[in-house]
Structure 1
Amino acid sequence: MHICLNFRAKASKYSLDIMLEKAWVHLSRFIFVKQKTSEEFKLLSDQYRERRRKQIPHTCSRKGMVRLAEDLKKESSDPSDVTRLKVWVKSRTKKDGTAVNTNAAEKIKKAYELVEAETPSATSTNPKEDLLTKVLGPDNPGRLRAMGRGMSMSRYTCFQMNNKYMTEMQQNQVHLQQQVQDLQETLARMRNQRPEAEVGENYAPRSVNKKAQLKCILYDWSGSDAKVAEGRILSSDPKDFINEIPLGPNSFKVLVENAN
């Protein structure tokens, strides 16, 4: 008898647990349905639906805006012409040339109209005033459109200053290289203007007209004034070279004929 009563008590407790579980399930469903059919939820749903409708998805996939901008700069003859607007338009255009949706088509059409109406000199590179801002409106705080993930106005300013200094350094390097090239060309012209040497700088051809060249005597200028050689004056031009060194003023290029 005691075993039978214990079994009935356990069965009643088990049935009560099942009934409570079913009641909780029904209550949860009732609460869920009531929330989803309330006026507050409908208003919130309409707001998010409107936001999703205004969104313009890009077609970059994993490439991202930064790599897309780099590809456009490589394809362009002038990388400075690749603006935020061009990157944004390219990212919202499919491979067949059509826009991703009707909203994107309207924005792209407006962008082309602004590009045609605005002169290149009046085009601003400031993200707060450029053409993309005029098409889409101001950027959200802390981010810039078509500039890659994590790009803010402060970071963009730092990048601009860095690019400015790098550009100036490259221009200075090009200027210095041009100066070196000009000096090399000037030296080459000066060398080409002097008589060509067949063996060395001090070699005189056999066909030289010795009558047109003055004879000279070379003395030891260290103090003894002894005669050391006889020769002929080949040149007194300061621009002439001896062993790739300019002759200079008050100097002579001499062909030694007899050495003592």
Structure 2
Amino acid sequence: MDPKIAKADEEVQKLISKKRNKSVEDRRVGSEIFDKQTLETLYKLANQGYINVLNGAISTGKEANVLKAVKKDDSFVAVKLYRIATSDFKKMQYYIQGDPRFNIKSNNKRQLINNWVNKEFRNLSRLYEAKVNVPKPIIALNNSLLLEFIGDSEGNPAQIVKNQKPENVDEFFNDLLIELNKFINDANLIHGDLSTFNILNKDNYPLIIDVSQSVVRDHPIADELLIRDIKNIYHEFKKLGSSFSLDTIKNKLDIDLDID
């Protein structure tokens, strides 16, 4: 095995569990992350100069893990790896069907994952071009997505709002609504799963992440998702101390929907 991939496998095995002694469950999850195709994909990315070695975990989830990688010039990138074994394929099909950019007829799980990764890459590219504050997409390959690393120069990742409350909640929320306005009205996309779990607090300014499920504005379920997004952030930021009303949010987003 290529030493870079061997090193990657070794690093992830260390990162899966914070306990000294791995359980059977820990080893199972590790094998789900680094199956043969994922290792081969990482080898290709390393061979093409996109990564040199994996260097830590940024976040772990049911469907994907985000890892930090170091390039040869010692700069950082984020590597998002989707897992075949634990992904919610019904959910993926729900968000992809009705999107005119995709014509997915196969029920092959690996193919669906690859299309899901491509969907997130295309959504990020569209948002980035619209100057929405999102991570810059680098490349999508199979079940792997490379993104701009969001953090400091020492490699410490920015925290989600859920874990790091903004210093000034209303100011931060207002900045978030400015970004969402561009998201909705310039990029013509709806996030679809917006919450304080997928908004980063980067130097007290919001950066939106996790846009794989995001749909185009004329998608059949777009309004339903938009209403859900608005309700989510309204309630979550209210708990943090925001004074914004639903009407204020709607006005700042320049939308006309019945939200109660």
Q: Which TM-score band applies after superposition, normalised by the shorter structure?
A: under 0.3
Structure in which a larger fraction of residues adopt helix: 1
Structure in which a larger fraction of residues adopt strand: 2
Question: Between Structure 1 and Structure 2, whose CA radius of gyration is higher?
Answer: 1
TM-score, normalised with respect to structure 2? 0.21
TM-score, normalised with respect to structure 1? 0.21
